[in-house]
Structure 1
């Protein structure tokens, strides 16, 4: 998903095919390594950061925030700026995630809040700060047939593997629910996206840019509540509405933000990750407010850690007497847990936007900002052809590719 899915998804612009694939690999590798350190600092033991499968998965998750932000900045910043942004963003991301998961004790198994919402609005905030009218050249937004085909490859890869993305950190029933809910949400979102895209299009045709992205918005929207008791019909409703938000966002909101708010969102990350992420967080608050032991059994206290009875309370002792091991919590009510889900969303938005603005100001420093002199950093992908040097196995007139 990280190296193929996100990479190819952003190749729909004909001028940036080479660039986005190369930088995608570079940024992902930096983000994964730095993420292991940043996230490991919060969980070190005896001064050592332990590396295992779980830490690698979490680091990969963290790298998606950078790639999402990159989507909002494609064509506007140079590689050095992106590397600097990656280091800063992963650091802020690790702190915000620790605050939400370990202090607020919210649930976000698929990262709708801490990955998608954070990455989208961090990138949009940076885009707002570095906005320069010359960089918003309409010719840079042009697509062509083969670039759209490559972008669909990214969509398909992301679509197929999104259930595993949302369920990777789950165990037992949590993992099963996450896979099922994500799959149902994706299928519903795809159908809705295709139907609505043809309705809102001025020529009554399917718009490939909408479909390449809106079809996966359901995976983002269900992320926070993927392991919760949404019921199959609930997962399908979540996916349908995510498709509606995403398509309408591409059709109406993206042009408005570029024209009136000085926010040029190159790849539409607000429509795929931002709005569906916020929507998913709101849905998780509603579902959390309905959570009870009657519905989840004792698994409730594994999902919502602070809803577990306090240590030495009579209820906690009763559970222990039933030979069931659960960690003591604070005895939160369902409504209070829902409130913390909303607090985590608000905190993430504030941290992402504030961090993005600060990062944008850093990227505009003269020794980093070279965009005004030269916006090209890699070969264009629309070249007419390459030539192989003549050798004994090639005739001179056959060397053109």
Structure 2
């Protein structure tokens, strides 16, 4: 039986006509602010040659671009492709998932460059912000926190609400990041700054925006076979690039090397654990695609804070196991409990993938800092890896600073989310009616055949790929997905090949 779909008159009250002027106004404001405040940093400026002579730099290879661009590209792929595809799991909100992810990422990264520049790198000599590769990576990190929050509200808010949420989220993130990284000096990999903050920020907004009649759109809230496969491709993009995410802004040398290894191992352990717990939690032992799409990434989240620390390889595996258990348990038990008893409607389960593993990561960072010793690190290594140059801190003090950073991330997320949630409750934002949540047709031009019948899509893909029209729907879909995935892999290989040629 075909799934019928009716157009609701309430679609006309979503203020869709205001999206274009708001985007234009925002972009014009960004042009003006960038003209006033933003300049290239010395390594991107045309005076680089003079800078080399003044600082005894002998080769262009020492330019930060050659060192950080591969990690930046990995993080960029995670933001725009990983998160975007992961958000396509809803059967009738794939346009909104990947499209609005694109919108708020491009919207947020410009504001993030300004906010982070004002807080972190404002040059007091000329009051300008100097941006380079590290600035771009940090801007992507900032946007990641907002995308996490977006996951809790996916399908329930308007594009204008998303832009307001991103505007406020980036501003809050910059303040919280400055306090945790610059004043407390903890959390290199972002378990607390990005995941814990973004998770509780989004959950609090979702709680404030609670919809008691959301069951009216229950028919649209689930996934389909096709949407789950696309979301799984997003998971794979995130999974393979997460070691770069945790190490991208680390210091040159052993710490960054260690961050990649620890994250790599933790991710691998979380995959096996998730498969095991998912099967055990089902009556007939079958796997849940929701668990595999999300909980398999929890190891990367939990390893963020302690990524550069000498936790030892087996401890990284333990962190991955614990995060996989916690995340899968959250999807099985906590998500339905929170919706029923706490009135928190968490569309993507960000509490299980980001918030709880982020808290675990903060706790791991505090414990490992408390037990750090010169016998493991050496005196100089201890100062750089754990103490961040603070000679007057003991191990216990550094552990306390880690715990304080975790508390600040949680408080910032909840407090900021409460304020922003109240703003978003105002009736002027054009959010969808309860019966039209999780529906692309509210904000996108979508023909009825695209929503109700996959046959036109199958015919189109057969024509494009010039394959035999006798294939079944499943065979055709699988070929399309393989084609998309291999194309993405080819893009990545070509990208790194170009970089290698340029480097050598």
Structure 2 residue aligned with 1:255:
336
Q: Can you give the 5+ residue segments of structure 1 that lack an aligned partner in the other structure? A: 310-330, 389-401
Q: Distance in 1 between matches of 2:256 and 2:228?
A: 33
Q: Deviations over 1:117-175 (max 9, x none)?
A: 11111000000001112235322321111111001100100010001111111221011
1:192 to 265, 268, 273: 273
Structure 1 residue aligned with 2:143:
63
Q: Distance in 2 between matches of 1:155 and 1:214?
A: 10
Give, in angstroms, the shift of residue 367 of structure 1: 1.5
Q: Deviations over 1:5-25 (max 9, x none)?
A: 001111111011111111011
2:366 to 252, 267, 285: 285
Structure 2 residue aligned with 1:44:
122
Structure 1 residue aligned with 2:177:
97
Q: Distance in 1 between matches of 2:86 and 2:192?
A: 21
Structure 2 residue aligned with 1:318:
none
Structure 2 residue aligned with 1:127:
206
The residue matched to 1:163 in structure 2 has which SS? helix
The normalised TM-score by structure 1 is 0.88
The normalised TM-score by structure 2 is 0.71
The 8 Å contact of residues 387 and 398 in structure 2, kept in 1 or not, is answered as: no
Query: Does residue 18 in structure 1 map to residue 95 in structure 2?
Result: yes
The 8 Å contact of residues 266 and 303 in structure 2, kept in 1 or not, is answered as: yes
Q: Distance in 2 between matches of 1:169 and 1:201?
A: 40
The 8 Å contact of residues 166 and 223 in structure 1, kept in 2 or not, is answered as: yes
Structure 2 residue aligned with 1:296:
377
Q: Distance in 2 between matches of 1:258 and 1:14?
A: 21
Query: Does residue 79 in structure 1 map to residue 155 in structure 2?
Result: no
Structure 1 residue aligned with 2:498:
none
Structure 1 residue aligned with 2:23:
none
Structure 2 residue aligned with 1:333:
394
Structure 2 residue aligned with 1:352:
413
Q: Deviations over 1:194-230 (max 9, x none)?
A: 0110000123100011111011100000010011011
Structure 1 residue aligned with 2:193:
114
Q: Deviations over 1:323-358 (max 9, x none)?
A: xxxxxxxx1000110011111111111111010011
Query: Does residue 141 in structure 1 map to residue 202 in structure 2?
Result: no
Give, in angstroms, the shift of residue 306 of structure 1: 5.3
Q: Distance in 1 between matches of 2:323 and 2:278?
A: 13
Give, in angstroms, the shift of residue 292 of structure 1: 2.4
The residue matched to 2:130 in structure 1 has which SS? coil
Matches within 5 A, 1:148-227: 148-170=228-250, 171-227=252-308
Q: Can you give the 5+ residue segments of structure 2 that lack an aligned partner in the other structure? A: 1-77, 460-504
Q: Deviations over 1:223-277 (max 9, x none)?
A: 1001101100000000001000011100000000000000010000010001000
Q: Distance in 2 between matches of 1:101 and 1:162?
A: 20
Q: Distance in 2 between matches of 1:225 and 1:235?
A: 9
Where do 4+ consecutive residues of structure 1 move more than 6 Å? none
1:264 to 345, 355, 358: 345
> CA, structure 1 residues 32+227, in 2 after alignment: closer, same or farther (shift >3 Å)?
same
CA RMSD of aligned residues (A): 1.8
